[in-house]
Structure formats: structure tokens, C-alpha cells
Structure 1
Amino acid sequence: MWRGIRYFRAAPGGPQAPTDKSENELTSNSGITISLDAMGGDHGPTVVLAGAAIALQRRPDTRFALFGEEAEVLPVLAKYPELQAASAFHHCEMSVRMDDKPSQALRQGRYKSSMWRAIDAVKTGEAHVAVSAGNTGALMAMAKFCLRTMANIERPAIAAIWPTLRGESIVLDVGATIGADAQQLIDFSMMGGAMARALFGLECPTVGLLNIGVEEVKGQDDIREAGRLLKETPLPGIEYRGFVEGDDLGQGTVDVVVTEGFTGNIALKTAEGTAKQIAAYLRAAMSRTWLARAGYVLAKSAFDRLRDKMDPRKVNGGVFLGLNGIVIKSHGGTDAEGIAAAIDLAHTVARAGLREKIEADLANYHRRISEEAASVPESSVS
């Protein structure tokens, strides 16, 4: 037994058996409890726990349910006494590797991996939200299997916070699902709108469909059909602005940009690569001559602000939407600051009641659709 930490070990072949305090105790306080896959990412507990320690300093009301292999997690956790005191550790038999296939991870890691147990903590009510930097495909497969999709939602989406010239926007889907029909794009619009209201405090966020042009005749059939339906039947709580193009992402033309996962993921990776490219150009330019170095010193505060704005770690964390519980995917290769940002995001969406807002929006939308369908005279139906 490690002193100073609530330590739970899973009973062989059965559910976890607490050896100290009840598992539901963490949810009895007024803070936010986050279940954390301590084994996730390229660097495992060393970076994950360092990030959790940073996040705890920023948000002292956070409590953690930590899942991982004790031989790797506990020696690192001992270095962070405050995090240790705010956490309950749960030993897991295994962890999901970054190169595991989703089907393999689901088959071998269900019920006993740190990733599964972190997600299951949300299902059982031990935690408000789960965070993992692990294998994206495996995380989505496990989250869908464990939490299931919300009523009337066929496919979940991953939503990312996107820095813009106006501030921040939400872009979804950035990788959960390849392809999407018109109804799924409408579902994404509702979920993205709920997230914008929860995170940005907007009463009626603006929404646009990402397309190859703003003209109504352009784009694939599903995108044009979704645009037509959004115009003819406005969704509650959002303002549809029509089609937007790739350059509108950085401009912040709308609060929520909706697309399918293939396009969204390419856009996300392109933006991340461009930010790194520009940063490399600036470093090279500032060190080329003594005059350039002197100019950098004089303008250091401006360059620091630019670097902070372009830092992808500041907006690390993709939110899985459309499930009966919230899961946050952190970038696997990020550092402690990036993990802390993902935990900050988890705290924010949990405190804002994001899942409840999405459920309410979906219920209102489908209730209205049912009422409109019922009001149509039978003679008008061919």
C-alpha cells in the first residue's frame, strides 16, 4: 500500500474492489473528477502525470481517478505530492499500445486496460469526463462500445478548438468518421453549437458547412442537401450561415465549422504543420545575422505573444461528441503543458454540462420534427 494515496486494485476476474475508500467518493464533492489514462501517449506516466500536476495547480477543485500499471505509475506519482493527495489510483493489468489496431485493442484491452477503465469510470459515474493521450482509433472504438451513442445519433464526432483571428472556433469532425450524410452533418451542427454555447458563452453561435465554395451549387450531394435542410428547418440555438471555405477556418468567419472526418483531419494536420513551418522560418530568420538577432531582442515581447498564439499545445484536446459521456483525446506526442491543456478542457466541458446541453438540443430538435410531421395532413402525403 502506498501511503498518502487512495489505492484501488481490481479483484481477479471481477469489478474493482476498493481497499480504502468507496469508488464513488470522488464524485461526492463539489469539484470535477477526471479519469485519466496514465499510460496513454508516446511518453506514458512521465508526461501524463506532470501535465496533471500542472492542471491541478490551475484548477485546485480537480480530482483525478488515475488508471495504469502500478510499477510505472506509482514511482512517478510519488514525485507530485499534491497530485497524489487529489487522486485515487487504480491498478490495471495492461495498457493499449499506440500502434495497436482498434479491433485488437478492443478485444484484448476491454475491462482490463487503463484506457478502458478510464472510459468506464465515466459510465459508472466515478468521473465526469475521461482524458487519454493514447491510440485514437482504439480510444474511439472503446468509447463507442462502452458509452454507446446518444439517442438519434448514428455516429460520434471529434470536435477541436481552432485558434482564429477573431478568437476561437470549433471544428468537427476532425477524424472520428470518414464520410457523413446530410443528417449526420446536421447532427454535427447541433453538437458543435451546443459546445460553442458551453465553452464560449454564446447565446446563438454561427455555423457553417465546410465546402469547396460558397455557392449553393458547389460541393458533394450530402453537403448541398445538409445546407438545404439547415436553411429550410433552422436548428434550435444556432444560426446557419451557409457554406464556408478552407481560408475561413483561420479567419473565424463562423463559430462552428462542420465537415466530415476525412476532410477535417487533413485540415487539422495541415494547420498544425503550417504553424510549425512558420515557427521554423521565424527562428531561422532571427538567427541569420547579428542585426536580426538584435531586432529579435528588441521585439521579444511581440515574438513571445506570437509564439504563444501559434502554440498547438494551448488548444490540445479533441472532444468526443455524441456519446453518453464525454471523452477527451489528447495528442499522443504532446508534452506536459499539452496534457494540462487537455485536462483544462475536460474540466471546462464538465463544469459547463456539455453532454446535458447536447441531449437537450437533440431532444428539442427531434420533438419538433415529430410534431411537424404529425401536423402534415394525410391528403398532402403522396
Structure 2
Amino acid sequence: MKPKVKFNKRASSRTTRIAFLANDTPFFFRHFIPAIEAAAAVQAQIFALLPTTPDNRVRSRFAGSMEVLETPQMRRKSPSWAFARKVLSIVSRLRHVEPDIIVGYSIRSIIALTIAFPLLNAKRYVFVVTGLGTTDIASSQKSRFFRAIFYQLMRLANRSSRVWFIFENQSDASRIGIPPTKRMRHLNLMGAGVDPDEFQPESKPRAPPLRLATVGRLVWSKGTDLAAEAVSSLVKEGYEISLDIYGSPDPANPLPVKDSTIGEWINNHHGVHYRGYVEDVPRIWREHHVGIFPTRGGEGLPRALLEAAASGVPTVVTRVPGCEDFVRDGIEGFIVEPESVEELKSAIKKFVHDPLLIAKLGQASRDRVLQTATNEIVQRRYTSIFSLENGDRRVA
């Protein structure tokens, strides 16, 4: 394990101050450890503005390496005046900290920073687009309205040389309307990174039955209902397969999976089991042959997909940004069209009819992670961003 780099609160005024802003505390500490470690590597003073304080285990890991400032949570359904008040509260904390670099994660944090931009004086702003969310794939008039406003704010922010963008796939920048560039301040990373030492290939249980798993928040955009329907249909047709669903509902999401829907998966779908939230994710992939991620879109690149791949598990994904950036059809897994239960069934049957694909595609998945998506790779890119002497140069 690498030694933890601590900062000294009494350090000289030349010490770089980095403030992270996120709207989900567990999400921040699960996904963005490489960014925190990169900030420590450049000897920065680190601040994290989060809606709740981290649990004891997390506080123990980062004790002395960052200061956590509790901020109000920016919920999607909050009225405009309440959101504005929360933005002012965040601005107040940031002005007190006086960071040189501000890093914002997810849509709501980025919106807050774009609104607060004239009130702050950081040397660099880093907008980490972890997906465009439900707003990007919903078709309601309200969603289209907010989508237009959000994208316009992002385009305006892009005009400043102090604003850097990190995207987790090749499509989100063009969806927003930010033109392609080879400048340093527009970076594409293959997700948030994964530790290949924590997720390693291990021997799988004997098949049949073919054991599939899906891991993630239980929200409509994840498409878990499609996976349940596909597996249940195949079981009725006589195939020896099963699906284990891991995760918990996200009430803050505009389209969460309801408890009644989870009950329907359990009671009305053959071969489908709901396992709830599990901390030991590596164990999940030791016990399953294939990962299935039939997302409807709006994500950057699902971390659970990278964790499965690092574990040597092939995956079935949909043709949406992020998933199709990582999985190459027939190499690391299979890509199907969104919303297509029939294509999901066809992809699953390929593993049933040719079990050797599990090991072959699983090894390719592991290799893909090692080449593109490890914590080390992601940390190096963040370190280059946090080194303020690096200007807006071209990427080789």
C-alpha cells in the first residue's frame, strides 16, 4: 500500500489548496479515491465539501489528509429558491477556504459551480462529467427545458481557460455541444478507475447453471428490469441460468425503483434473486460467470462494469455512451441495443452454448482494464491537472 501523504494546515501560502465538491458522500469516496490521492501527491491542502460527513471507516483512512466541510444536499426536486440558497451556502464555504483548484463531480455540483463562477476566484475549475443523468435520456418537456439550460451553462463555462473538463466517455462532450479539441483541459478517462489488485480473476463456480449478476443503484435508467425479464424468459424456455441483483434504491433519483417493483422481480420472475446492498463486491464477481448492464443511458462509465472486467468477468452491455466505449463487441463481451429484451436473451445464450467464451472474453476484459482504466492511470491524469504549472497545452 502506498504511504499516505498528509498536508500541514500551517503550510506556507504557496501550498496549493484543492477543494472537492460532490453531492453524494458515499459515491465520492467509492469512486474518486485516485483524485484524492493525486491531490495528496502534489502536497496539496485538501478540502471536501460534502452533504454528510463520511463514516468512521472512511474518516480513519483519510484522517489528517483532508478536511471535510458539510454542505447542504442539492436535491433535484428542490424549488429554485432553495437551490439558489444552497449554492450561496457552498460559495460561502469555498470563499472561506480560498482554494486554488475546485473539482466538481456530477451534474448538480457542476451546475452549482457554473452559477457561482463569478463569485469565486480559483485558478482552475475541474468539471468531472460522470454522465449526463436522467435529464439527457428523458423526453418530457421539463427535462428538455433543464437539459437546454444545463448544456448552455456548460458551453459558457468552456469559454474560460480556467475551466477544465473530464469526461468518462467519447460522447458526452458532443451531446453538450462542446467541440472536440486536443487541448489538455479537455480529458477523456475510461471511468473513475479501479484497483486491479482488489478485483482479480479467480476460479468460477461450475456451469450450468450460468450465473449472471448486475450491480448498481436501483434506478430506472440502469435497466435492471430488462435483465430480469430476459433471464426469466430464458428460464421459462428451459435454460439453466440465474440472475442475482445487487444494489439498493436511490430515493434522491428522479426515477428510483420502487419497493413494489423489487417485490415483482422476486415473485414474478423465474431465476431472478434480489440480494440487496453488498459491501464485498469482489466476492460477487468470484461467484458469477457474466455481468449484465442493460443501462438505458445517462451514465459516464459504470464503475461496476469496470470492477467486473477487472475480475475477469465478461459482460453484456447496451449500446450507450460509456458502456460501448469500454466493451468491444465480441472481445470483452457483447453489446446489444437499449430496451431490447430479445437481444439480451441472444447475448446470454451465446455464453450458454459456448462456455469457453466466459474465460476468453473475461481475460480480454481484464487486459482492457489494465491498459485503460486502473486507479494508477486515472491518478496520473489528475496529478497533471493538479499541477498548476501545466497550462492548456495539447495532449500528445
Q: TM-score, normalised by structure 2?
A: 0.35
**Could you say which structure has the larger radius of gyration?**
1
Q: Considering fraction of residues, name the structure with more helix.
A: 1
When normalised by structure 1's length, the TM-score is: 0.36
